């Protein structure tokens, strides 16, 4: 059974019932639960078991440039060097305070630049068990904002944050208006926070307290319609529930409804496991380079939760984990491995920095006939009615798609592209028959707007 595509934007629920006016929402101050009807339902086949296993074999890990748009690295290691877990690999050339560290102890086996000296990838081959695993650090002391920033920057946790607008790693000296913690799995097979945090709740809550020192506004903890992950004082940490289709799990959806952004209004996003890792860093002084990911999808032999190093090599990890198609000669039955979920994920050799799901799918779908240059000619082929119900935002999808296709930054800005990053438009790419990759088009427009605004 495939993902089913469903209709319109967002319904709002809570103690006062459901409030809806056309395609817009009437929001009550008491409402804390949003139900999202835009997007897709997950493929029920391939749902992971609710148990966590440790990845057994040593693997190669990588930091990949696709996860850090605009980054130009200055490497602190060379090919062949041995590094400890949490040891610096490189810094951002334009913001040298931002340090990127190794998720494992091992040997640097590959360093590659991309266009204009951007980062392509750096690969660290994990050492067998028994090798000294952690860089020596003192337990951080103090809880003032400056000390917290210095620790996060130096110990490799600053890249856990991403900005809206633009989706960049934030500058070290910026204070966001709010921070959004994403703990929503609705419409996906991502790991359940209640399972992942079962033995790490103290670290998670300490991490939330740390985040409140980084912003003058609220920390929005956005979670499923489940027992609250945080029950402390609500002055700085605000719990909001989102449920429904896959778009409910996108940080862009949460930001659009709770704290819209613009060129002069910046917020940050972070995943719930990174919050726990920050709390653990300040409680123990140790860098945590592993995350729990969901191995899911219709071609997975045994869907389950795995604790793996960040950036792990998917081909090594998934050796023997895929089922063979019954009719391998047919393209539609070929197996593909995605870093991320079936909608927003990408074919990749390594797990993305911000992904906590690995999808073993049934093969690439056929695209429409067009290239980007032929989008206007293929306009009649675009299923406009389906596209209108794709985005859970007050954004007109078809005009936005046309603006992105021709690189019209002014129109795209006016239509609301600053609220979006690549994952937010993944469903547009899926539904449009032109063959356009709207994630890549959006990235080009965002980078141009950011350059003009600098």
Predicted confidence at residue 177, as pLDDT, reads 98
Predicted confidence at residue 421, as pLDDT, reads 97
What is the tens place of the pLDDT at every residue in 23-32?
333 333 444 8
Q: For residues 374 and 296, which has the higher predicted lDDT (pLDDT)?
A: 296
Q: For residues 369 and 150, which has the higher predicted lDDT (pLDDT)?
A: 150
**pLDDT, the chain, mean:** 85
State what percent of residues in the chain have pLDDT above 90: 68
pLDDT, mean of residues 413-429: 95
Q: Which two tokens stand for residue 377?
A: 């000619």
| Cβ within 8 Å of residue 21, ≥6 positions away | none
Predicted confidence at residue 394, as pLDDT, reads 83
Nearest to 145 by CA among 94, 209, 237, 222: 209
Predicted confidence at residue 425, as pLDDT, reads 95
Q: Where in the chain is the domain with CATH 2.40.50.100?
A: 58-154
Beta-strand relationship, 106-113 and 119-126? antiparallel
Q: Which two tokens stand for residue 193?
A: 């926070």
373 has pLDDT over 60: no
Out of 5-9, 390-394, 416-420, pick the least confident.
5-9
Architecture of domain 58-154: Beta Barrel (2.40)
What is the tens place of the pLDDT at every residue in 263-294?
999 999 999 999 999 999 999 999 999 999 99
Q: Which two tokens stand for residue 1?
A: 């059974």
The pLDDT-based confidence of 325 (bands split at 50, 70, 90) is low
User: Rounded CA gap, 81 and 107, in Å?
Assistant: 6
11: region left, alpha or beta (phi > 0 left; psi from -120 to 50 alpha): beta
User: Rounded CA gap, 193 and 407, in Å?
Assistant: 39
The pLDDT-based confidence of 137 (bands split at 50, 70, 90) is low
């Amino acid at each position: 059974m495939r993902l089913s595509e469903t209709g319109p934007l967002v319904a709002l629920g809570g103690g006062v019932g459901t409030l809806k006016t056309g395609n817009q929402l009437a929001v009550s101050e008491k409402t804390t639960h949003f139900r999202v009807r835009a997007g897709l339902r997950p493929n029920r086949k391939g749902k992971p078991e609710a148990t966590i296993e440790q990845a057994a074999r040593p693997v190669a890990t990588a930091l990949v440039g696709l996860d850090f748009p605009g980054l130009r690295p200055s490497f602190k290691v060379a090919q062949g060097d041995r590094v400890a877990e949490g040891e610096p690999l490189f810094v951002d050339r334009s913001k040298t305070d931002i340090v990127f560290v190794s998720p494992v102890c091992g040997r640097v086996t590959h360093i590659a630049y991309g266009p204009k000296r951007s980062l392509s990838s750096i690969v660290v081959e994990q050492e067998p068990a028994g090798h000294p695993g952690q860089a020596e650090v003192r337990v951080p002391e103090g809880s003032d904002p400056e000390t917290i920033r210095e620790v996060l920057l130096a110990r490799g946790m600053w890249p856990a944050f991403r900005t809206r607008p633009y989706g960049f790693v934030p500058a070290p000296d910026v204070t966001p208006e709010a921070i959004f913690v994403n703990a929503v799995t609705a419409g996906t097979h991502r790991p359940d926070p209640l399972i992942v945090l079962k033995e790490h709740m103290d670290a998670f809550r300490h991490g939330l307290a740390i985040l409140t020192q980084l912003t003058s506004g609220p920390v929005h903890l956005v979670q499923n319609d489940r027992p609250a992950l945080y029950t402390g004082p609500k002055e700085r940490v605000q719990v909001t529930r989102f449920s429904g289709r896959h778009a409910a799990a996108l940080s862009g959806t949460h930001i659009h409804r709770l704290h819209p952004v613009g060129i002069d209004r910046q917020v940050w996003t972070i995943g719930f496991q990174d919050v726990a890792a920050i709390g653990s860093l300040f409680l123990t002084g140790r860098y945590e380079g592993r995350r729990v990911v969901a191995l899911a999808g219709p071609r997975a032999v045994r869907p389950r939760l795995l604790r793996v190093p960040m950036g792990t090599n998917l081909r090594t990890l998934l050796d023997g984990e895929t089922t063979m198609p019954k009719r391998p000669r047919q393209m539609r039955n070929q197996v593909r491995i995605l870093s991320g979920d079936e909608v927003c994920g990408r074919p990749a050799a390594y797990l993305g920095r911000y992904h906590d799901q690995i999808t073993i799918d049934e093969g690439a779908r056929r695209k429409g006939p067009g290239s980007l240059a032929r989008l206007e000619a293929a306009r009649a082929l675009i299923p406009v009615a389906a596209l209108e119900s794709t985005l859970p935002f007050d954004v007109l999808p078809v005009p936005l798609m046309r603006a992105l296709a021709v690189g019209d930054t002014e129109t795209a800005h006016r239509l609301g592209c600053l609220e979006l990053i690549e994952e937010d438009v993944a469903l547009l790419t899926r539904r449009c028959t032109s063959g356009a990759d709207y994630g890549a088009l959006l990235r080009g427009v965002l980078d141009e707007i950011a350059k003009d605004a600098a």
